[in-house]
Amino acid sequence: MSAYGTMMPNADIVRPNALPMPGVDAPAPLDQPSEVTPGQSASDFGNVLGQFISDVNAKQNAATQAVSGLQSGEGVPLHQAVIAMEEANVSFQLMVEVRNKLLDSYQELMRMQI
């Protein structure tokens, strides 16, 4: 496998190596699971989705500002604008795929017979 990832046995996905990339923040560690009540889990899930959408929107706004800065000659480097646009594009595609999976799951639940 390449230096960028290793193939997991019996898996079709490539995992990145543990080495940090320059300029890329490491993902935040997951907290220990806490006791959750049924009503609380729904609101927490809604909060997670809301935060996810807010993050995608922030990336879209940052890409727009980078492109505007590039066009107006504010000294924004071309590579920074392209990276911001691609980051916004990838995050938007991820959001769409998450939405599609959620809709598929909901439709599957609705098809279940009780």
Taking only the tens place, the pLDDT of each residue in 24-83 is 455 555 555 556 566 667 778 889 999 999 999 999 999 999 999 999 999 889 999 999
Tokens coding 3: 């230096």
3-29 average pLDDT score: 47
* Dist CA 44 CA 50 (whole Å): 10
Proportion of the chain above pLDDT 70, given as a percent: 64
Q: What is the pLDDT of residue 113?
A: 85
Contact (Cβ atoms closer than 8 angstroms) between residue 5 and residue 15: yes
Instruction: Categorize the per-residue pLDDT at 7 as very low, low, confident or very high, splitting at 50, 70 and 90.
Output: very low
